[in-house]
Amino acid sequence: MNYWDYIHVEELLALQGGFDDDEQKVSNDEALFIVVHQIYELWFKLILRELTSARELFRQNPVPDQKLASAARSFRRVVTIFEQAIQHFRVMETLTTRDYLDFRDRLIPASGFQSAQLREIEVLLGLDDALRIPLGREGSYKEALKTADGSPSSATRRLEARLASGPSLKHYLYEWLSRTPIDGSSEPEAVLRFLRNYMRSMRAENERRVQIAIDKALAPADVERLRARYEAENANAEAFLLAEDDPGADEATREKRRAVRAAIVFIESYRDLPRLAWPREVLDRILEMEQAMLIWRQRHARMVERVIGRRTGTGGSAGVDYLDQTALRYRVFGDLWTVRSLLLRQPSVPELEHASDYGFRVEDSP
């Protein structure tokens, strides 16, 4: 074995033929455009591998504690890849508007919107279809992957295989979270008891904040405004924790949501307990991963705005406006983000009755 055979260097270097599959006819600008996209697709491939492994891990019941470190490592790798990939937009930006216009129209209707792997990442993570923004020309992300005559393309088949591969990472992660014993018990009453205690502490903490503002000689009208703001914050937090924020949900769904949300608050609040350290690391890495992906979306949008302004995309969308919308709406792990608004200072966190359950386990000697 040698390097060139193992890496398939010749095959790799023969993939930049452009429209006519003839590299002689490809300008340096177009070669850059093709190569940067190809590099991204390779990064997406690696991201999909890591997410698949993590999904398989959380599919297990119970999830072995010692495997959580592997999951955290996968998420860290995904974050690092996104961070590196974001830098590639700098290279893309060396393409000026006029240089791009030289070959852009020939691309229509091709677009990154047809990247099956980005859609696979979203599906694997568990992006809710209801959040998706319909695209102008095709109406749906699945339609956009079909060939011009409506038959399935290689991209369609790729996406269909992913959709058929089973529930998402979010699904299994939430199953795992819902099994977390809250202060020693997973019973719905124990979950509710924990949440009620926690909400009491949240209210007390916000009341303390209003008092600090009063002590600092806030005008009475400002105090009222502030009080109303904290009151709305408390009410929203309680509706979220008790899963009363979706009136359409049935009681079984709400019970499950309460268990998931209580588990996130619990893991984040008592993260110093040894057996919660890895779960907490996992949640932090997932949030970081979603953050990196949102930054990727925003960065892509700013690069696009710089290169083509606000014109219609080759894929037929509203261009930058569409991309900015995806960066705002395409969140998978909304509960993890919401809990960040609810966390308390250490002294305000309610005391646990069964903290010792979360210490290191000492195996019986044989």
Binding-site residues: 33-37, 100, 104, 300, 314
Identify whether the C-beta of residue 361 lies closer than 8 Å to the C-beta of residue 162.
no
The minimum distance between CB 274 and ligand HEM, in angstroms, equals 40
C-alpha to C-alpha distance for 245 and 264, rounded to whole angstroms:
17
- Going residue by residue from 92 to 111, which x/- string records binding to ligand HEM, judged by CB under 6 A? x--x----x----------x
The minimum distance between CB 92 and ligand HEM, in angstroms, equals 5
Among 125, 241, 313, 358, the residue binding ligand HEM under the rule CB under 6 A is 313
C-alpha to C-alpha distance for 329 and 132, rounded to whole angstroms:
8
Closer to ligand HEM by CB, 269 or 326: give it.
326
Closer to ligand HEM by CB, 180 or 291: give it.
291
Closer to ligand HEM by CB, 57 or 155: give it.
155
Identify whether the C-beta of residue 184 lies closer than 8 Å to the C-beta of residue 354.
yes
| Contacting range for ligand HEM; rule: CB under 6 A; set: 113-121, 145-153, 212-220, 254-262 | 113-121
Cβ neighbours, 10 Å, residue 323: 23
The minimum distance between CB 19 and ligand HEM, in angstroms, equals 16
C-alpha to C-alpha distance for 182 and 188, rounded to whole angstroms:
10
Paired tokens of 26: 């490809």
The minimum distance between CB 355 and ligand HEM, in angstroms, equals 44
Using CB under 6 A, which residues numbered 172 to 231 contact ligand HEM? none
Measured in whole angstroms, how far is the alpha carbon of residue 215 from the centre of its chain?
41
Among 326, 332, 333, 335, the residue binding ligand HEM under the rule CB under 6 A is 326
Residue list for the binding site for substrate: 33-37, 100, 104, 314
The minimum distance between CB 295 and ligand HEM, in angstroms, equals 14
Using CB under 6 A, which residues numbered 8 to 67 contact ligand HEM? 36-37, 40
Burial class (CB in 10 A: 0-12, 13-18, 19+), 255: middle
Should residue 286 be labelled a site residue for ligand HEM when binding is judged by CB under 6 A?
no
| Contacting range for ligand HEM; rule: CB under 6 A; set: 1-9, 281-289, 307-315, 352-360 | 307-315
Taking the alpha carbons of 257, 261, 264, 267 in that order, is the dihedral positive or negative? negative
Rg from Cα positions in the chain? 25
C-alpha to C-alpha distance for 158 and 200, rounded to whole angstroms:
49
Closer to ligand HEM by CB, 279 or 315: give it.
315
Tokens 């009222």, residue?
224
Should residue 307 be labelled a site residue for ligand HEM when binding is judged by CB under 6 A?
yes
Cβ neighbours, 10 Å, residue 119: 23
Closer to ligand HEM by CB, 70 or 154: give it.
154
| C-alpha distances in Å from residue 236, one per residue of 140, 199, 240, 326 | 33, 11, 6, 25
C-alpha to C-alpha distance for 347 and 240, rounded to whole angstroms:
23
Cβ neighbours, 10 Å, residue 2: 7
> How many residues touch ligand HEM (CB under 6 A)?
24
Q: Which residues bind ligand HEM (CB under 6 A)?
A: 36-37, 40, 92, 95, 100, 111-113, 115, 118, 300, 304, 307-308, 313-317, 319, 322-323, 326
